[in-house]
Amino acid sequence: MPDITVTAVRKPMERRKVVWLASFLRAEVLLLLPFLLFLGLFEIYPLINMAVRSLFDTNGTFTFQNYINVFTKPQFRVAIRNSLLFASAASLVGGIGGTFVAALAVRLPSRWRNFLLSLYALPMTLSGLVVAFAFIVLLGRNGVLNLIVRRAFNLPPTVYFNLYDWPGIVMVYAFFQIPLMTLSMAAVFENLDPSLIEAARNLGARPWQVWRYVVIPVLLPGFLAGMSIQFAGMMGAFGTVLALVGMAKNLLSLQIYSHASESTYNLPQAGALAIVLIAITGVALALLSWGARRLARRGT
């Protein structure tokens, strides 16, 4: 026969727990309000406002001409092509370089590895303008390193590393991208099971076969995830490239800046360019994410 006294005491206690849990959840929702307010005011509202404005011309007439311009005017088509090529090249340089640095970092003793990864986090805290001017001082036409090389090999002034062409711009952005990829891939390498490599070696696999059939398939999902972060950042690259070359290079981000602030002031056209940039980046990220998930499922 159940104890009536214990049951009578237990029910009020359970009710108090339910009331406490409900009040706690309400408190957590209240804590989310500042974040939701920030998200709505500074991300969702500007995005909706920009999308709506892109459907009107400067006189307020509804039109799709701004989007037609994006895909028909040569300057915009070249900007899309340049942005895709630049983002892909910079992401590949950062991805491959960061992967190799991460592979070396995980082999170091724990103290030195943590020091190296902490040091590698510093470039991501620097302003893009600061980095641009630092590279101009070092590798500009009359930069320190160019002067040293010319004097050391008695070269004419016309010989120098061109920081202001696409390879130079990609190299500058590698200053950010390689450390970012190193931090991402270091965690992937640390989670790599050494027993898989030992088993492959015991079965007679050569070093390149170990990488081809064991290491790379395990690392590839993490590599694609890191590449997606880098690609998104490079599609929106703006401050550093503007400080280096101004409007001399045709990128989508610079076209948006030009139509939003300079003599070609046209906010609806800038909005259409921005929406196209967001759409291209979103599709690329979706493809990279799909590839990473598929490879991860195949690996398991």
- At the second CATH level, the architecture of 62-299 is Orthogonal Bundle (1.10)
Q: Which long-range contacts (CB under 8 A, 24 or more apart) does 121-124 make?
A: 121/179, 121/183, 122/179, 123/175, 123/176, 123/179, 124/176, 124/179, 124/180
Cβ neighbours around 134 below 10 Å, total:
14
pLDDT tens per residue, range 29-54: 667 778 888 889 988 999 999 999 99
| Rounded average pLDDT over 3-16 | 53
pLDDT, position 23: 62
**Surface-to-core class of residue 65, CB atoms within 10 Å of its CB (0-12 exposed, 13-18 middle, 19+ buried):** middle
Q: How far apart are CA 164 and CA 146, in angstroms?
A: 13
pLDDT over 70 (residue 7): no
What is the Cβ-side half-sphere exposure of residue 208, based on CA atoms within 13 angstroms? 0
β-pair partners for 56: 62
Question: Of 79, 245, 90, nearest to 170 (Cα)?
Answer: 90
pLDDT over 80 (residue 148): yes
Most confident of 166-170, 174-178, 214-218, 288-292: 166-170
Tokens representing 44 are 């969702």
Residue-range domain boundaries for the chain: 1-53, 62-299
Please give the DSSP secondary-structure letter assigned to residue 60: S
pLDDT, position 124: 79
The whole-model pTM stands at: 0.83
pLDDT, position 288: 87
pLDDT tens per residue, range 55-68: 999 888 999 999 99
Q: What is the mean pLDDT of the chain?
A: 85
Higher pLDDT, 249 or 211: 249
Give Cα separations from 58 to 66, 170, 201 (angstroms): 10, 36, 67
pLDDT, position 278: 94
